[in-house]
Amino acid sequence: MVAFPDRLTAVPISDVLTPAVLSLVWRSQPGAVVQKLLEHCRQSFTGAGPGGGSSLGVAAGAGE
């Protein structure tokens, strides 16, 4: 059950060869695992290191 369905956003991704679903669920205060995931995403998609800028719509250091 979803507590806040109005906060969920489906984002279609085009140009993929293998269909996949990525679901992220976390508390209002992200834990260590979410922080590591965000760092990995920033590095992979923006080239920024830990604490660097982000184009993912998540401010660096969010939840700290």
Q: How many CB atoms are closer than 10 A to CB 42?
A: 21
Least confident of 22-26, 28-32, 49-53: 49-53
In whole angstroms, what is the distance from residue 61 CA to residue 64 CA?
A: 6
The distance between the two most distant Cα atoms of the chain, rounded to a whole number of Å, is 36
Instruction: Check: pTM over 0.75? Answer yes or no.
Output: no
* CB 35 within 8 Å of CB 63: yes
Looking at residue 48, its pLDDT comes to: 64
Which has the higher per-residue pLDDT, 45 or 54?
45
